[in-house]
Amino acid sequence: MGNDYRKGCANIASHECKFSRISKHGKLLMKVRLQKLGLMTPRLTLKVIYVFKLPRGTGAGGVDKKGITMKYIVAIIQPGRLTAVHEALVGIGIEGLTTSEVQGYGRQKGKTETYRGAEYTVHFLPKVKIEVAVDAKMADKVVETIKIASESGKIGDGKIFTFDLSSATRIRTGETGADAL
């Protein structure tokens, strides 16, 4: 049933569908607020209301009644391996990912460098964090792919973490769950 709802609302033209999820009062409030800011055309207002309101309530989003269908994978890798990992993930059909530059340390506890003749320890080493949300069936394959593509065999190669993912929403269309990935 939830699935039907998502599909029905995938088309932004079917406004009624979204309105049905929001109380009249909430709709009005949101509209007034946004229009006061001078940001809103009526059409845009509808979209924003939809996005703001949807995550509320347990029914919305990608939780399947049968259980977890999505996984969220976070990998901390050597910055120089990003290109290889990206290409490998594209190769197995991953459609999108997020990266950020981060700093941290593991068992290695940073490393020693010399600057102008004085030794010092860099406590937080630069790494790249990759975040990718995937269908649960794909998770093992993604983890394995990242592992192979980012491995140099040396200390400091990083780690991969996998989380259960309870919800996903594509902001533009309102699709939720695995369809939003």
Partner 1 sequence: MLNSFYSKLSLVGAAAALAAFAATPAFAQEVPEHGVFILNSVLFLMAGFLVMFMACGFCMLEAGLVRAKNTTMQLTKNMALFSTAAIGYYLIGYNLMYPLGDWSIDGVFSALFPAVAVMEAVGVAPEAADDIAYASTASDYFFQLMFCAATASIVSGTLAERIKLWPFLLFTLILTAFIYPLQASWKWGGGFLDEMGFLDFAGSTVVHSVGGWAALAGALVLGARAGKYKDGRVVPMPGANLPLATLGTFILWLGWFGFNGGSQLAMGTVSDVADVSRIFANTNAAAAGGSLAAAVLTQIFYKKVDLTMVLNGALAGLVSITAEPLTPSLGVATLIGGVGGLIVVFSVPMLDKMKIDDVVGAIPVHLIAGIWGTLAVPLTNSDANFGTQIISIAIVGAFTFAISWVVWTVINLILGIRVSEEEELEGLDKAELGMESYPDFSKQV
Q: Binding-site residue total for partner 1 (CB under 8 A)?
A: 8
Beta bridge partners of 113: 120
Residues 72, 181 contacting (CB under 8 angstroms): no
Return the number of the residue (31 or 129) whose C-beta is nearest partner 1: 129
Which of 126, 129, 145 has the alpha carbon at shortest distance from 84?
145
Stretch that binds partner 1, among 32-40, 59-67, 112-120, 149-157 (CB under 8 A): 112-120
Q: Tell me the C-alpha distance between 159 and 38, whole Å.
A: 46
Stretch that binds partner 1, among 87-95, 113-121, 141-149, 171-179 (CB under 8 A): 113-121
Q: CB of residue 116 vs partner 1: minimum separation in angstroms?
A: 5
Q: Which residues contact 81 (CB under 8 A, 6 or more apart)?
A: 128, 149, 150, 152, 157
Return the number of the residue (102 or 171) whose C-beta is nearest partner 1: 102
Q: Which residues contact 30 (CB under 8 A, 6 or more apart)?
A: 45, 48, 49, 52, 53
Verify binding: residue 103, partner 1, rule CB under 8 A: yes
Q: CB of residue 11 vs partner 1: minimum separation in angstroms?
A: 39
Stretch that binds partner 1, among 3-11, 111-119, 160-168, 172-180 (CB under 8 A): 111-119
Return the number of the residue (63 or 125) whose C-beta is nearest partner 1: 125
Stretch that binds partner 1, among 38-46, 53-61, 109-117, 169-177 (CB under 8 A): 109-117
The H-or-E segment that residue 9 falls in is helix 2-9
Scanning the structure block, which residue is given the tokens 């794909």?
Answer: 138
Binding mask 114-143 for partner 1 (x = CB under 8 A): xxxxx-x---x-------------------
Instruction: Quote the radius of gyration of the chain (alpha carbons, Å).
Output: 22
Return the number of the residue (25 or 116) whose C-beta is nearest partner 1: 116
Q: How many residues does the chain have?
A: 181
Q: Catalog residues that contact partner 1 under the rule CB under 8 A.
A: 103, 114-118, 120, 124
